[in-house]
Amino acid sequence: MKRSKRVRLIALGSLPLVLSACGERPTRVVSEVKRFQDVDHCAMAGINRQVCLQAWLGAQQHHYANAPRFVSLEACEVVFQECDTRNFAGNFVPRMEGFALTVDRQVYADGNDDTSGAWSTSTGGSRFYDYTDTEPHYSTEAIYHERDGRNAFKVTSLTEQVAAGNQYAGLDPNHPTSTPFSSLPHALDGTHPATVPAGSALHPTALAQSSRPFAIGSHNGFVSRASARGGFSS
């Protein structure tokens, strides 16, 4: 009876915190998003320069494929601080101001994290994890200076803008990148009913070396001791 029950738990290995065998420890994935102006600033933060370069190139591809297309410079500059018309067939798009690098790491999740203060993003403390010996996964996308009031701006990505439900006027109705940012199939005339499905979303571009998925559930490999503040740099 015990043997049968154990097999069922192993079959559910895709769920976090499932113990699949004696001696193995449950795992989970922690993520951190870091924003950089360029490859040099990324490398100076301690991240492998090759990863930084791949992230920059991947963010450029994401930008060209997904940036909203406006029919006029004025319409674009209502939303974004700087806009660009190069290589976009006469449309205007927000200027890429850098990239957001998301780093996912697999850590042990059996309650043995050491905590010194709170999260570094809130009160300046840092949290330490037991990393498994699996490689980190990276994804990337461009960041932009989105207007936030008359003379201010905030740094956002397209993923964040779509998740926030942002909708913009003056988009090119004939370009597919307009769809996530408009409730209408023809954003300029306003004569058609809403067609954007609920939950429409953009996602960052995964780097090639991140293609192998994590085996979430349990892991009995080697451990790497590092902090949440600096542990994503290797």
Summarised one tens digit per residue, pLDDT across range 187-212 is 333 333 333 333 345 788 888 654 45
State residue 182's pLDDT score: 79
Q: Is the pLDDT of residue 95 over 70?
A: yes
Q: Is the pLDDT of residue 97 over 80?
A: yes
The structure tokens 């957001």 sit at 100
Band of pLDDT at residue 55, cut at 50, 70 and 90 = very high
State residue 131's pLDDT score: 66
Q: Which of 148, 146, 168 is nearest to 157 (CA)?
A: 146
Residues 14 and 207: their CA atoms lie apart, in Å, by 23
Q: Is the pLDDT of residue 173 over 60?
A: yes
Which two tokens mark 50? 């090759």
Band of pLDDT at residue 112, cut at 50, 70 and 90 = low
Residues 49 and 58: their CA atoms lie apart, in Å, by 14
Band of pLDDT at residue 158, cut at 50, 70 and 90 = very high
State residue 51's pLDDT score: 93
Taking the complete model, does pTM exceed 0.75, yes or no? Answer: no
